[in-house]
Amino acid sequence: QNAMKLKKFYAIRVLVTGLFFIFTILFYCLYEHWSVVDSVLFIVGTITTVGYGYVSPSTDLSRLITVCVIFFGVLFVLSTLVDMTTKSCNYLSEKLCPIEFIKWKGHYRAIFFGSVMIVIIVLFLGAGIMMALEDLSFITAFYFAAQTSVVFVFLNYSYLTI
């Protein structure tokens, strides 16, 4: 019964996070007249504290909404992303490193190998997405993907050690 409550709780968190992104993207598109891509980049850059600086709010209302985005994003969205990332990493680690490998080589080597593979895959996917959305070279896109992932790793570590 606790597992069902936990699944429901996670589902609600993911739903609220999705609605948060949809409404904030719509706000910046309609009120600031930004494109969807600019809105998404601004929201993600703001929440992750990277702050790429492509666009910035121009009115007091937009700045006030941005402050709310920062508080809600850091407290709620990042904790949801950390939970989702942890579940995904555990799942991929199990798929990439079978139980026999863990028993044969040692538990920590398998976790390390799986984690390194996941980081490499995520960095390349992030660079590919940024190249598709922006007119960036692979090196520049890879740099931004790595910079963003370092922020997530730090927040993930901070969140888990609190």
- What average pLDDT does the segment 105-131 reach? 72
HSE at residue 80, side-chain half, CA atoms within 13 A, is 20
pTM over 0.75: no
- pLDDT band, very low/low/confident/very high, at 22 (cuts 50, 70, 90): very high
- What average pLDDT does the segment 73-100 reach? 69
DSSP label at 74? I
DSSP 113-154: HHHHHHHHHHHHHHHHHHHHHS---HHHHHHHHHHHHHHHHH
Give the Cα-Cα-Cα angle 127, 51, 156 (nearest 5 degrees): 70
- What average pLDDT does the segment 53-81 reach? 81
User: Cα separations (Å) of 89 from 4, 69, 111, 159?
Assistant: 21, 27, 9, 16
User: 154 and 160 in contact (C-beta within 8 Å)?
Assistant: no
Q: What is the pLDDT of residue 127?
A: 86
Residue-wise pLDDT for 140-160, tens only, equals 888 777 767 665 554 444 444
Q: Percent of the chain having pLDDT more than 70?
A: 69
Higher pLDDT, 100 or 84: 84
Dist. CA 149–CA 152, nearest whole Å: 5
Q: What is the pLDDT of residue 35?
A: 93
- pLDDT band, very low/low/confident/very high, at 108 (cuts 50, 70, 90): low
**Nearest CA among 15, 35, 17 for reference residue 26:** 35
- What average pLDDT does the segment 117-135 reach? 83
Q: What is the pLDDT of residue 26?
A: 96
